[in-house]
Amino acid sequence: MPDFRVDYLEVPGTDYSEAKQRYTYRIDEQENLWEYFFAIFDRLRRFLDLPFQLSQEGFASDDYPQLDALREALVNMLMHSDYFSAACPRVRVFDDRIEFFNPGALPKPLEKIMEEDISMPRNPVLAKFFRVVRLAENAGYGFDKMISGWKSYTGKPPVFDEGRDYTKVIFYLKSTTQNATQKTTQKTTQKDEGNRKAIIELLKEDSRLTRKELAEKIGDITEDGIKYHLEKLKDEGRIKRAGGRKTGYWEVD
């Protein structure tokens, strides 16, 4: 790997403009990803409410769903980051949320990954490394653990931001989870509807446009994203495919 640096900042505010200083803590560069995992995880657990409890054997318990959720997010970021990208994986801790940024898009839309129960690691060697120490599994269950674990802690699931060349997972902390999640969901819904409206308008002009051509005309969206919206539009009955595979076209209602 040409660059395995991982950036971790704790920002005193809900955004950079609000912060009186850029950050209050920044992790030092580590010698390898294994040390990055432990150094970052040690910092993250400090931001959770982890009541002391004993296991049946009488030892201190480390079984907390919210902690498992953050561990999964951190492991997934380190395993699946695009280390050949100009950007580096990073973790940002704000007053109201914890963000994991991966400079690499998901191989498929999140809904498809969870429906099909598949695992497509970007870095198979790193994936095997984390699986050997039982911090990851062969099947793609990481998203389920993140969602269920954080929801049990805050009442709301984390927010997944799927970009063309990045993936971001946002864990809103207890006090601001509901409002922030609603705002993000509303923004995502508006963006989705805008993309679908653009697709319909373009298909009205040229019913034979391909997914690649639609993506190029709309911009800031992948061919997989176009495919996802086309399927949604078909399910809603707003468009219909006619003709054969090579000579087919879209009928817009």
- pLDDT average, residue stretch 166-170: 92
Eight-state DSSP code of residue 174: G
pLDDT of residue 60: 43
Residue 107, classified by CB atoms within 10 Å of its CB into exposed (0-12), middle (13-18) or buried (19+), is middle
pLDDT at position 54 is 44
pLDDT, mean of residues 14-26: 86
Provide the mean pLDDT of the chain.
Answer: 83
Query: Residue 170: its pLDDT value, please?
Result: 95
Per-residue pLDDT averaged across 93-101, rounded? 94
Q: Which residues of 193-210 are buried (b: 16+ CB within 10 A; e: fewer)?
A: eebbebbbebbeeebebe
State residue 17's pLDDT score.
Answer: 83
| Whole-structure pTM value | 0.62
* Residues facing residue 7 across a β-bridge: 90
Could you read off the pLDDT of 6-17 as tens digits, one per residue?
999 999 988 888
Per-residue pLDDT tens over the stretch 31-72: 888 899 999 999 998 888 776 554 444 444 456 889 999 999
For Cα atoms 116, 117, 122, give the angle at the middle one, nearest 5 degrees: 105
Determine the Cα angle at 86 with ends 36 and 1, to 5°. Answer: 50
pLDDT for res 137: 64
